[in-house]
Structure 1
Protein backbone atom coordinates (compact mmCIF):
# COMPACT_ATOMS: atom_id res chain seq x y z
CA UNK A 1 0.00 0.00 0.00
CA UNK A 2 2.73 2.42 1.01
CA UNK A 3 4.75 1.56 -2.12
CA UNK A 4 1.74 2.23 -4.32
CA UNK A 5 1.17 5.66 -2.73
CA UNK A 6 4.84 6.47 -3.07
CA UNK A 7 4.85 5.45 -6.74
CA UNK A 8 1.70 7.50 -7.36
CA UNK A 9 3.28 10.54 -5.67
CA UNK A 10 6.45 10.18 -7.73
CA UNK A 11 4.44 9.85 -10.96
CA UNK A 12 2.39 12.93 -10.02
CA UNK A 13 5.58 14.90 -9.38
CA UNK A 14 7.14 13.81 -12.70
CA UNK A 15 3.97 14.69 -14.62
CA UNK A 16 3.76 18.11 -12.98
CA UNK A 17 7.46 18.79 -13.57
CA UNK A 18 7.01 17.95 -17.26
CA UNK A 19 4.02 20.29 -17.41
CA UNK A 20 5.98 23.11 -15.77
CA UNK A 21 8.94 22.58 -18.10
CA UNK A 22 6.66 22.97 -21.09
CA UNK A 23 4.26 25.65 -19.89
CA UNK A 24 6.07 27.92 -17.42
CA UNK A 25 7.84 30.04 -20.03
CA UNK A 26 4.67 30.84 -21.92
CA UNK A 27 2.69 31.47 -18.73
CA UNK A 28 5.43 33.78 -17.43
CA UNK A 29 5.39 35.72 -20.69
CA UNK A 30 1.60 36.09 -20.48
CA UNK A 31 1.90 37.23 -16.85
CA UNK A 32 4.61 39.73 -17.81
CA UNK A 33 2.37 41.16 -20.53
CA UNK A 34 -0.53 41.40 -18.08
CA UNK A 35 1.49 43.21 -15.42
CA UNK A 36 3.13 45.49 -18.03
CA UNK A 37 6.52 44.86 -16.46
CA UNK A 38 9.76 44.67 -18.36
CA UNK A 39 10.73 41.08 -19.20
CA UNK A 40 13.97 41.38 -17.21
CA UNK A 41 12.30 42.95 -14.14
CA UNK A 42 8.99 41.24 -13.53
CA UNK A 43 8.46 40.36 -9.85
CA UNK A 44 4.66 40.72 -10.02
CA UNK A 45 4.50 38.42 -13.05
CA UNK A 46 6.70 35.84 -11.33
CA UNK A 47 4.44 35.96 -8.27
CA UNK A 48 1.37 35.44 -10.46
CA UNK A 49 3.08 32.49 -12.16
CA UNK A 50 4.05 30.94 -8.83
CA UNK A 51 0.49 31.24 -7.52
CA UNK A 52 -0.98 29.80 -10.72
CA UNK A 53 1.38 26.84 -10.70
CA UNK A 54 0.76 26.19 -7.00
CA UNK A 55 -3.00 26.26 -7.62
CA UNK A 56 -2.64 23.88 -10.56
CA UNK A 57 -0.47 21.48 -8.54
CA UNK A 58 -3.02 21.47 -5.74
CA UNK A 59 -5.73 20.51 -8.24
CA UNK A 60 -3.52 18.14 -10.27
CA UNK A 61 -5.19 14.89 -9.24
CA UNK A 62 -8.66 16.36 -9.71
CA UNK A 63 -8.07 17.62 -13.24
CA UNK A 64 -8.88 14.16 -14.69
CA UNK A 65 -8.51 14.90 -18.37
CA UNK A 66 -8.90 18.68 -18.11
CA UNK A 67 -6.14 20.77 -19.62
CA UNK A 68 -3.69 21.79 -16.87
CA UNK A 69 -2.49 24.74 -18.99
CA UNK A 70 -6.04 26.06 -19.19
CA UNK A 71 -6.40 25.65 -15.41
CA UNK A 72 -3.16 27.56 -14.76
CA UNK A 73 -4.01 30.30 -17.29
CA UNK A 74 -7.53 30.71 -15.88
CA UNK A 75 -6.14 31.11 -12.35
CA UNK A 76 -3.42 33.52 -13.54
CA UNK A 77 -5.95 35.71 -15.34
CA UNK A 78 -8.48 35.61 -12.50
CA UNK A 79 -5.83 36.48 -9.92
CA UNK A 80 -4.53 39.35 -12.07
CA UNK A 81 -8.06 40.69 -12.60
CA UNK A 82 -8.77 40.49 -8.87
CA UNK A 83 -5.61 42.40 -7.91
CA UNK A 84 -6.09 44.95 -10.72
CA UNK A 85 -9.63 45.57 -9.56
CA UNK A 86 -8.53 46.21 -5.99
CA UNK A 87 -5.58 48.40 -6.95
CA UNK A 88 -7.26 50.48 -9.61
CA UNK A 89 -10.99 50.03 -9.06
CA UNK A 90 -13.00 49.06 -12.10
CA UNK A 91 -9.79 48.36 -14.04
CA UNK A 92 -8.74 52.01 -14.06
CA UNK A 93 -5.56 53.47 -15.51
CA UNK A 94 -2.39 51.51 -15.97
CA UNK A 95 0.19 51.43 -13.20
CA UNK A 96 2.65 54.29 -13.33
CA UNK A 97 6.20 53.23 -14.01
CA UNK A 98 5.14 50.25 -16.14
CA UNK A 99 7.64 49.66 -18.91
CA UNK A 100 6.38 46.62 -20.80
CA UNK A 101 5.08 46.64 -24.37
CA UNK A 102 1.48 46.91 -23.14
CA UNK A 103 2.14 49.58 -20.51
CA UNK A 104 -0.10 52.10 -22.29
CA UNK A 105 -3.16 49.94 -21.83
CA UNK A 106 -5.51 49.62 -18.88
CA UNK A 107 -5.43 46.30 -17.00
CA UNK A 108 -8.74 45.25 -18.62
CA UNK A 109 -7.39 46.03 -22.09
CA UNK A 110 -4.24 44.01 -21.33
CA UNK A 111 -6.38 41.10 -20.10
CA UNK A 112 -8.47 41.03 -23.26
CA UNK A 113 -5.52 41.53 -25.60
CA UNK A 114 -3.37 38.86 -23.97
CA UNK A 115 -6.20 36.33 -23.92
CA UNK A 116 -7.40 37.03 -27.46
CA UNK A 117 -4.15 37.72 -29.33
CA UNK A 118 -1.32 36.10 -27.37
CA UNK A 119 -3.21 33.10 -25.98
CA UNK A 120 -5.68 32.71 -28.86
CA UNK A 121 -8.69 32.29 -26.58
CA UNK A 122 -12.01 32.63 -28.42
CA UNK A 123 -14.00 35.82 -27.91
CA UNK A 124 -16.88 33.97 -26.25
CA UNK A 125 -14.58 32.15 -23.79
CA UNK A 126 -12.77 35.40 -22.99
CA UNK A 127 -16.11 37.09 -22.37
CA UNK A 128 -17.25 34.26 -20.10
CA UNK A 129 -13.97 34.26 -18.16
CA UNK A 130 -14.11 38.03 -17.59
CA UNK A 131 -17.86 38.25 -17.08
CA UNK A 132 -18.37 40.61 -20.02
CA UNK A 133 -20.60 40.50 -23.11
CA UNK A 134 -18.79 39.19 -26.21
CA UNK A 135 -19.45 42.50 -28.01
CA UNK A 136 -17.67 44.37 -25.20
CA UNK A 137 -14.67 42.02 -25.46
CA UNK A 138 -14.58 42.65 -29.21
CA UNK A 139 -14.63 46.43 -28.70
CA UNK A 140 -11.96 46.34 -25.99
CA UNK A 141 -9.73 44.13 -28.14
CA UNK A 142 -10.09 46.43 -31.16
CA UNK A 143 -9.30 49.53 -29.08
CA UNK A 144 -6.32 47.90 -27.35
CA UNK A 145 -4.93 46.62 -30.65
CA UNK A 146 -5.23 50.07 -32.20
CA UNK A 147 -3.48 51.62 -29.19
CA UNK A 148 -0.61 49.15 -29.37
CA UNK A 149 -0.21 49.43 -33.15
CA UNK A 150 -0.56 53.22 -33.24
CA UNK A 151 0.79 54.59 -29.94
CA UNK A 152 0.50 58.27 -29.13
CA UNK A 153 3.53 60.25 -30.24
CA UNK A 154 5.69 61.91 -27.60
CA UNK A 155 4.55 65.47 -27.14
CA UNK A 156 1.04 64.81 -28.41
CA UNK A 157 -1.90 64.70 -26.06
CA UNK A 158 -1.57 61.66 -23.83
CA UNK A 159 -4.28 59.06 -23.92
CA UNK A 160 -6.57 59.79 -21.03
CA UNK A 161 -8.38 57.06 -19.22
CA UNK A 162 -11.44 57.90 -17.19
CA UNK A 163 -12.78 55.78 -14.42
CA UNK A 164 -16.06 54.25 -15.43
CA UNK A 165 -18.50 51.93 -13.82
CA UNK A 166 -17.73 48.28 -14.43
CA UNK A 167 -19.25 46.99 -17.62
Structure 2
Protein backbone atom coordinates (compact mmCIF):
# COMPACT_ATOMS: atom_id res chain seq x y z
CA UNK A 1 0.00 0.00 0.00
CA UNK A 2 2.75 2.48 0.96
CA UNK A 3 4.69 1.64 -2.20
CA UNK A 4 1.64 2.47 -4.32
CA UNK A 5 1.22 5.78 -2.56
CA UNK A 6 4.91 6.59 -3.04
CA UNK A 7 4.66 5.71 -6.74
CA UNK A 8 1.60 7.98 -7.09
CA UNK A 9 3.42 10.84 -5.38
CA UNK A 10 6.44 10.41 -7.66
CA UNK A 11 4.20 10.38 -10.73
CA UNK A 12 2.39 13.46 -9.45
CA UNK A 13 5.70 15.26 -8.97
CA UNK A 14 6.93 14.25 -12.46
CA UNK A 15 3.69 15.40 -14.10
CA UNK A 16 3.85 18.74 -12.33
CA UNK A 17 7.53 19.21 -13.12
CA UNK A 18 6.81 18.55 -16.80
CA UNK A 19 3.99 21.10 -16.73
CA UNK A 20 6.05 23.73 -14.90
CA UNK A 21 9.02 23.15 -17.20
CA UNK A 22 6.89 23.58 -20.29
CA UNK A 23 4.69 26.47 -19.18
CA UNK A 24 6.99 28.21 -16.70
CA UNK A 25 8.62 30.58 -19.18
CA UNK A 26 5.38 31.92 -20.57
CA UNK A 27 3.83 32.19 -17.12
CA UNK A 28 6.90 34.08 -15.87
CA UNK A 29 6.61 36.48 -18.81
CA UNK A 30 2.95 37.07 -17.94
CA UNK A 31 3.85 37.68 -14.28
CA UNK A 32 6.64 40.03 -15.35
CA UNK A 33 4.25 42.03 -17.55
CA UNK A 34 1.87 42.32 -14.61
CA UNK A 35 4.38 43.28 -11.93
CA UNK A 36 7.08 45.03 -13.92
CA UNK A 37 9.68 43.62 -11.55
CA UNK A 38 11.60 40.34 -11.95
CA UNK A 39 11.69 39.47 -8.23
CA UNK A 40 8.02 40.26 -7.73
CA UNK A 41 7.14 38.25 -10.85
CA UNK A 42 9.08 35.24 -9.59
CA UNK A 43 7.36 35.45 -6.19
CA UNK A 44 3.96 35.78 -7.83
CA UNK A 45 4.61 32.81 -10.12
CA UNK A 46 6.03 30.66 -7.32
CA UNK A 47 2.92 31.21 -5.22
CA UNK A 48 0.60 30.52 -8.15
CA UNK A 49 2.48 27.33 -9.04
CA UNK A 50 2.38 26.21 -5.41
CA UNK A 51 -1.41 26.56 -5.42
CA UNK A 52 -1.62 24.62 -8.68
CA UNK A 53 0.58 21.85 -7.27
CA UNK A 54 -1.52 21.68 -4.10
CA UNK A 55 -4.60 21.05 -6.26
CA UNK A 56 -2.85 18.57 -8.54
CA UNK A 57 -4.45 15.17 -8.11
CA UNK A 58 -1.78 13.09 -9.83
CA UNK A 59 -4.34 11.45 -12.09
CA UNK A 60 -3.91 13.44 -15.26
CA UNK A 61 -3.46 16.88 -13.77
CA UNK A 62 -6.31 18.71 -12.11
CA UNK A 63 -9.16 16.33 -12.86
CA UNK A 64 -9.61 17.59 -16.41
CA UNK A 65 -8.94 21.25 -15.58
CA UNK A 66 -6.24 22.92 -17.66
CA UNK A 67 -3.24 23.49 -15.36
CA UNK A 68 -2.03 26.47 -17.43
CA UNK A 69 -5.42 28.16 -17.17
CA UNK A 70 -5.60 27.44 -13.46
CA UNK A 71 -2.13 28.86 -12.83
CA UNK A 72 -2.86 31.94 -14.94
CA UNK A 73 -6.09 32.51 -13.01
CA UNK A 74 -4.13 32.28 -9.79
CA UNK A 75 -1.55 34.79 -11.11
CA UNK A 76 -4.30 37.22 -12.02
CA UNK A 77 -6.12 36.81 -8.72
CA UNK A 78 -2.95 37.26 -6.67
CA UNK A 79 -1.87 40.29 -8.69
CA UNK A 80 -5.34 41.85 -8.42
CA UNK A 81 -5.38 41.31 -4.64
CA UNK A 82 -1.93 42.84 -4.27
CA UNK A 83 -2.95 45.80 -6.44
CA UNK A 84 -5.87 46.50 -4.12
CA UNK A 85 -3.95 45.85 -0.93
CA UNK A 86 -0.72 47.74 -1.38
CA UNK A 87 -0.20 51.46 -1.69
CA UNK A 88 2.56 51.02 -4.25
CA UNK A 89 0.23 49.23 -6.62
CA UNK A 90 -2.78 51.51 -6.12
CA UNK A 91 -1.26 54.13 -8.38
CA UNK A 92 0.08 53.71 -11.90
CA UNK A 93 3.61 52.35 -12.06
CA UNK A 94 6.38 54.90 -12.08
CA UNK A 95 8.73 55.02 -15.02
CA UNK A 96 11.53 53.38 -13.01
CA UNK A 97 9.36 50.41 -12.02
CA UNK A 98 9.48 48.95 -15.51
CA UNK A 99 12.30 50.86 -17.08
CA UNK A 100 11.24 52.24 -20.44
CA UNK A 101 8.47 49.64 -20.88
CA UNK A 102 5.26 50.58 -22.62
CA UNK A 103 3.09 49.28 -19.77
CA UNK A 104 4.67 51.59 -17.20
CA UNK A 105 1.94 54.21 -17.58
CA UNK A 106 -1.01 51.84 -17.11
CA UNK A 107 -3.01 51.36 -13.94
CA UNK A 108 -3.00 47.85 -12.46
CA UNK A 109 -6.49 47.14 -13.85
CA UNK A 110 -5.53 48.37 -17.33
CA UNK A 111 -2.39 46.27 -17.15
CA UNK A 112 -4.42 43.18 -16.24
CA UNK A 113 -6.76 43.71 -19.18
CA UNK A 114 -3.95 44.34 -21.66
CA UNK A 115 -1.94 41.34 -20.51
CA UNK A 116 -4.92 38.99 -20.54
CA UNK A 117 -6.46 40.24 -23.78
CA UNK A 118 -3.40 41.03 -25.89
CA UNK A 119 -0.60 38.89 -24.50
CA UNK A 120 -2.56 35.83 -23.37
CA UNK A 121 -5.39 36.05 -25.92
CA UNK A 122 -8.13 35.60 -23.33
CA UNK A 123 -11.64 36.43 -24.57
CA UNK A 124 -13.38 39.57 -23.31
CA UNK A 125 -15.98 37.51 -21.45
CA UNK A 126 -13.35 35.45 -19.64
CA UNK A 127 -11.33 38.55 -18.81
CA UNK A 128 -14.44 40.23 -17.43
CA UNK A 129 -15.25 37.19 -15.31
CA UNK A 130 -11.68 36.94 -14.02
CA UNK A 131 -11.70 40.59 -12.97
CA UNK A 132 -15.28 40.73 -11.78
CA UNK A 133 -16.26 43.53 -14.15
CA UNK A 134 -18.56 43.82 -17.15
CA UNK A 135 -17.51 43.06 -20.72
CA UNK A 136 -18.11 46.74 -21.53
CA UNK A 137 -15.69 47.73 -18.76
CA UNK A 138 -13.06 45.37 -20.20
CA UNK A 139 -13.53 46.97 -23.64
CA UNK A 140 -13.22 50.46 -22.18
CA UNK A 141 -10.13 49.58 -20.13
CA UNK A 142 -8.48 47.93 -23.11
CA UNK A 143 -9.23 50.87 -25.41
CA UNK A 144 -7.95 53.39 -22.86
CA UNK A 145 -4.82 51.32 -22.23
CA UNK A 146 -4.05 51.05 -25.94
CA UNK A 147 -4.49 54.81 -26.35
CA UNK A 148 -2.24 55.43 -23.33
CA UNK A 149 0.48 53.15 -24.67
CA UNK A 150 0.21 54.59 -28.18
CA UNK A 151 0.47 58.20 -26.95
Structure 1 residue 6: deviation in Å? 1.0
Alignment match, 1:51: 47
Q: Which has the larger radius of gyration?
A: 1
CA RMSD of aligned residues (A): 1.6
Which SS does the other structure have where 1:94 is aligned? coil
Q: TM-score, normalised by structure 2?
A: 0.90
Structure 1 residue 71: deviation in Å? 0.7
Alignment match, 2:91: 93
Measure the CA separation in 1 of the matches of 2:48 and 2:56: 12
Alignment match, 2:82: 83
Measure the CA separation in 2 of the matches of 1:79 and 1:92: 14
1:60-110: CA deviations, max 9, x gaps? 118201000111000110000000011249x74223331252111111000
Q: Is the 8 A contact 2:93 2:106 kept in 1?
A: no
Q: Is the 8 A contact 2:116 2:122 kept in 1?
A: yes
Which SS does the other structure have where 1:98 is aligned? helix
Measure the CA separation in 2 of the matches of 1:36 and 1:99: 5
Measure the CA separation in 1 of the matches of 2:106 and 2:82: 16
Q: Which has the higher helix share?
A: 2
| Structure 2 gap ranges (5+) | none
Measure the CA separation in 2 of the matches of 1:147 and 1:20: 34
Measure the CA separation in 2 of the matches of 1:30 and 1:113: 11
| Structure 1 gap ranges (5+) | 152-167
Measure the CA separation in 2 of the matches of 1:50 and 1:112: 22
Q: TM-score, normalised by structure 1?
A: 0.82
Structure 1 residue 36: deviation in Å? 2.0
What is the aligned residue count? 145
Which SS does the other structure have where 1:70 is aligned? helix
